[in-house]
């Protein structure tokens, strides 16, 4: 995609389907002449012009608005033309076809086509051009996709924060402090006889410590932002008839899963996303775990174990009415042993006792007691899910973040730690300290896109929708 970013591109910029308004967008160099040929009049920049969009024979395709944004004062930084028409898919396709036709037109008095290299835009190409033309940095560009995809109000507001540059500004502040320290260390390498006193007077170690503290705070906020974006996948597992489907329905507030007294009713996993304080929680109901000869049920049980292995948290649901039955206890122990072998050690297990409306828990019973049928204990379970997710809204607010941002911040932390160790070793390893600071700076620059491999850009923008 990067090799062709000078071509003019066109795409339908509104979502597929029917709507009251649809937009066709064109971006690229030298779009002004094309825009005026399409309008058959002189256009004023950023001024909506109402007109008939006509085909080659002069027959109206539709009536709508045409707006021309000359670069660099546009979304992409290039000349941008928007055609706003009625939102029928056929109408918009006809407008795109007409634009391609006009782009190749070289009838007198024109000596050559208006936009001979016009092509369909690839996914995310308009935003990619905005990034390449310094209209926004990479973190802001990603925030656009996150704003579109936000599944909760909190996620949308956090994406808006990142789009406005809050996250990027904090990264830049950290990077500037890092660059200052790096310049200080590298300057001492030219004057080895004075470097120790020079670094002490400049409080180089204090600067490293303060950088690490600022980085830790930024990472904590980024982790919260990543949680808002990705959510938490919670698998409900346990023996048949423990009430897993009832719990899913209770948390979702809807009858999503079939509930019967017959053991083995759930044969396959059922998933629903709920919100708890704005955090998306992806709840997965699974088939009950037991020995079975039923072929279909065995497949469902195998899928349950697959789901458990991929969980961010596990709700191990027990039937409190069977809490003292030896056979039931033994089966629970077998499930616990198998789970310990499959589940990564960092994944939390929440023990929940259902059917608390039938009997009181024993004094020694650990876990949360609920009644999925009557709603008892559900609020405590919701708070526990937030706790294991690690959610705590930072005082400075939340911005949206991605896993690649967290990975970059972790690399910065590792390089700063190494730099601190080299500083303590003084003269012998100051050149290594300077290198660690350089690597930390590069890791930070990846977040905003100052230093980003082209293949990573391709992956990021390919996940955008067409027309954005």
- Rg (C-alpha) for the chain, rounded Å, is 30
Q: Is 37 annotated as a binding residue?
A: no
Q: Is 260 annotated as a binding residue?
A: yes
How far are the Cα atoms of 14, 232, 354, 362, 381 from residue 367, in angstroms, in the given order? 49, 20, 10, 11, 10
Interatomic CA distance for residues 9 and 126, integer angstroms: 8
Q: Is 285 annotated as a binding residue?
A: yes
Q: Is 246 annotated as a binding residue?
A: yes
Q: Is 4 annotated as a binding residue?
A: no
283 DSSP β-pair partners = 234, 272
Q: Is 244 annotated as a binding residue?
A: yes
Q: Is 265 annotated as a binding residue?
A: yes
Q: Is 245 annotated as a binding residue?
A: yes
Task: Kindly state the helix (H) or strand (E) to which residue 63 belongs, with its residue range.
Answer: strand 60-69
* Contact (CB, 8 A) for 352 and 318: yes
DSSP 257: S
Interatomic CA distance for residues 417 and 208, integer angstroms: 9
Q: Count Cα atoms within 13 angstroms, Cβ side, for 405.
A: 28
313 DSSP β-pair partners = 234
Q: Is 337 annotated as a binding residue?
A: no
Q: Which residues of 3-37 are buried (b: 16+ CB within 10 A; e: fewer)?
A: eebebbbbbbbbeeeeeeebbbbbbbeebeebbbe
52 DSSP β-pair partners = 63
Q: Is 418 annotated as a binding residue?
A: no
Tokens of 222: 């980024």
Q: Is 135 annotated as a binding residue?
A: yes
Q: Is 339 annotated as a binding residue?
A: no
63 dihedral zone (left: phi>0; alpha: psi -120 to 50; beta): beta
The residues, any chain, with a CB within 8 Å of residue 91's CB and separated by 6 or more, are: 22, 61, 62, 85
Q: Is 286 annotated as a binding residue?
A: yes
Interatomic CA distance for residues 429 and 269, integer angstroms: 56
How far are the Cα atoms of 2, 3, 61, 124, 464 from residue 458, in angstroms, in the given order? 8, 11, 36, 9, 10
Residue numbers belonging to the annotated binding site for (6S)-5-formyl-5,6,7,8-tetrahydrofolate: 25, 82, 135, 468
Annotated binding site for Mg(2+): 245, 266
Please give the annotated binding residues for GTP, written as ranges.
Answer: 241-246, 260-266, 285-288
User: What residues form the annotated binding site?
Assistant: 25, 82, 135, 241-246, 260-266, 285-288, 468
């Amino acid at each position: 995609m990067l090799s062709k970013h000078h071509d003019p591109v066109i795409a339908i910029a509104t979502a597929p389907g029917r709507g009251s308004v649809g937009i066709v967008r064109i971006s690229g160099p030298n779009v002004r002449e094309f825009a005026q040929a399409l309008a058959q009049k002189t256009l004023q920049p950023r001024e909506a012009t109402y007109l008939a969009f006509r085909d080659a024979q002069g027959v109206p395709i539709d009536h709508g608005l045409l707006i021309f944004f000359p670069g660099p004062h546009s979304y992409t930084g290039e000349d941008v033309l928007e055609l706003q028409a009625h939102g029928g898919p056929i109408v918009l396709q006809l407008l795109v076809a007409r634009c391609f036709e006009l782009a190749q037109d070289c009838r007198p008095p024109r000596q050559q086509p208006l936009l001979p290299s016009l092509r369909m835009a690839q996914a995310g190409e308009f935003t990619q051009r905005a990034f390449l033309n310094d209209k926004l940095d990479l973190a802001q560009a990603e925030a656009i996709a996150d704003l579109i995809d936000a599944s909760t109000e909190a996620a949308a507001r956090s994406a808006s924060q990142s789009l406005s540059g809050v996250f990027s500004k904090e990264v830049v502040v950290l990077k500037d402090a890092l660059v200052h320290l790096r310049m200080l260390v590298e300057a001492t390498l030219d004057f080895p006889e004075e470097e120790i006193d020079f670094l002490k007077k400049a409080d180089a170690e204090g600067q490293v410590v303060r950088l690490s503290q600022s980085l830790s705070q930024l990472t904590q906020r980024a982790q919260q932002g990543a949680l808002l974006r990705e959510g938490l996948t919670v698998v409900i597992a346990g023996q048949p008839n423990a009430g897993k489907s009832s719990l899913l329905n209770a948390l979702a507030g809807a009858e999503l899963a079939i509930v019967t007294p017959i053991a083995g009713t759930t044969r396959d996993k059922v998933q629903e996303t709920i919100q708890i304080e704005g955090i998306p929680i992806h709840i997965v109901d699974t088939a009950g775990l037991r020995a079975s000869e039923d072929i279909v049920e065995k497949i469902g049980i195998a899928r349950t174990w697959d789901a458990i292995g991929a969980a961010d948290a596990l709700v191990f649901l027990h039937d409190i009415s069977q809490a003292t039955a030896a056979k039931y206890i033994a089966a629970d122990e077998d499930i616990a042993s198998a789970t310990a072998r499959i589940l990564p050690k960092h994944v939390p297990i929440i023990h929940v006792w259902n059917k608390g409306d039938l009997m009181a828990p024993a004094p020694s019973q650990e876990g949360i007691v609920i009644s999925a049928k009557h709603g008892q204990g559900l609020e405590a379970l919701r708070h526990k899910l937030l706790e294991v997710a690690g959610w705590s809204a930072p005082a400075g607010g939340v911005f949206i973040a991605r896993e690649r941002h967290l990975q970059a911040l972790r690399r910065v932390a590792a390089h700063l730690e190494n730099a601190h160790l080299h500083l303590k070793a003084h003269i012998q390893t100051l050149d290594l300290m300077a290198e660690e600071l350089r690597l930390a700076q590069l890791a930070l620059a990846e977040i905003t896109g100052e230093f980003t491999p082209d293949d990573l850009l391709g992956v990021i923008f390919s996940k955008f929708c067409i027309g954005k």
